[in-house]
Amino acid sequence: MFNIVLFGPPGAGKGTQAVKLAVAYNLEHLSTGDILRAEMSKNSPLGQKVKNLIEKGELVPDETVISIIGEKLRNAGNVVGFIFDGFPRTVEQAKALDKMLADEALEIAVMITLEVEENELIERIRLRGESSGRTDDSDTSIIKNRIRVYNEQTATVADYYKNQGKYVPVSNMGTIDETFSLLASEIDRRLQIAIKS
């Protein structure tokens, strides 16, 4: 299996690129944000539990997202690999992911961070909010809070993967297709290494 973490601040383009990569490499796309929003629209007990935090731009508790991902991994069946989008967002989540994968004799092959300048992030999120209707994408103070939460609680996850030699930064200041090509060449290079070893 070839498992990828696609990392970066809110608005960096993780969702867009993860969907394209999932199609190109036949990977199962796991986005905790998408899963949580689906629970909110169903108004399920889980959706009700996380609604308030998501609408404020705060993180939901580690154990909530870890158990969501755990269930997805257990029920995945025969897949080529996973692309994790928006998870892990804390070092606790990263450790739990490693442990859950190790239990199945699996691991993360690479963690790719999409890099976008901060003032550009706010613009991109606001634009996305106009079409998606996401409340956490529409209000500037909530957008800024999400970027603050990223800087304070999530950015350090990069060090966790740097220590494992799996961290790869990729600029997403270009077009969607340009960034996709950069991502694909990083992945292709690692796939070649994985095949040879």
Task: Examine the residue annotation and report whether 74 is marked as an active-site residue of this protein.
Answer: no
- The backbone torsions φ and ψ at residue 110, rounded to the nearest 5 degrees and listed phi first, read -155, 145
Least distance between ligand AMP and beta carbon 88 (Å): 6
Nearer to ligand AMP (CB atom), residue 49 or residue 166: 49
* 128 flagged as catalytic: yes
- Which residue, 91, 108, 114, 109, is CA-closest to 15? 114
Is 148 among the residues known to form the active site?
Answer: no
Backbone angles phi, psi at 13, to 5 degrees: 100, 20
CB nearer ligand AMP, residue 136 or residue 168: 136
Tell me the residue nearest to ligand AMP as measured from the CB.
33
Where does this chain bind ligand AMP (CB under 6 A)? 10, 32-33, 36, 53-54, 57-60, 65, 86-87, 89, 93, 136, 146
We find the least distance from the C-beta atom of residue 149 to ligand AMP, in angstroms, to be 7
| Shortest distance (Å) from residue 25 CB to ligand AMP | 20
What distances in angstroms separate CA 159 from CA 86, 117, 156, 187, one per listed residue?
Answer: 16, 19, 5, 20
DSSP percent split of the chain into helix, strand, coil, nearest 5: 60, 15, 25
Question: For residues 32 and 179, which CB has a smaller minimum distance to ligand AMP in the complex?
Answer: 32
Residue 37 designated active-site: no
* Residue (17 or 93) nearer to ligand AMP, CB: 93
Query: What's the min distance (Å) between Cβ of 128 and ligand AMP?
Result: 10
Structure tokens at 94: 């990263």
CA–CA distances in Å: residue 103 to residues 4, 100, 107: 17, 5, 9
Closer residue to ligand AMP, CB minimum distance, 101 or 191 = 101
Nearest Cα neighbor of 172 from 123, 121, 136 is: 121
Give min distance, CB of 60 to ligand AMP, in A.
Answer: 4
* 159's tokens: 């060090």
Q: Which residue has the tokens 């494992």?
A: 164
Which residue among 20, 37, 124, 128 is the active-site one?
128
Respond yes or no: is residue 14 known to be catalytic.
yes
Tell me if residue 43 falls in helix, strand or coil.
Answer: coil
Active-site annotation holder among 49, 126, 134, 190 = 134
What are the catalytic residues?
Answer: 14, 89, 128, 134, 146
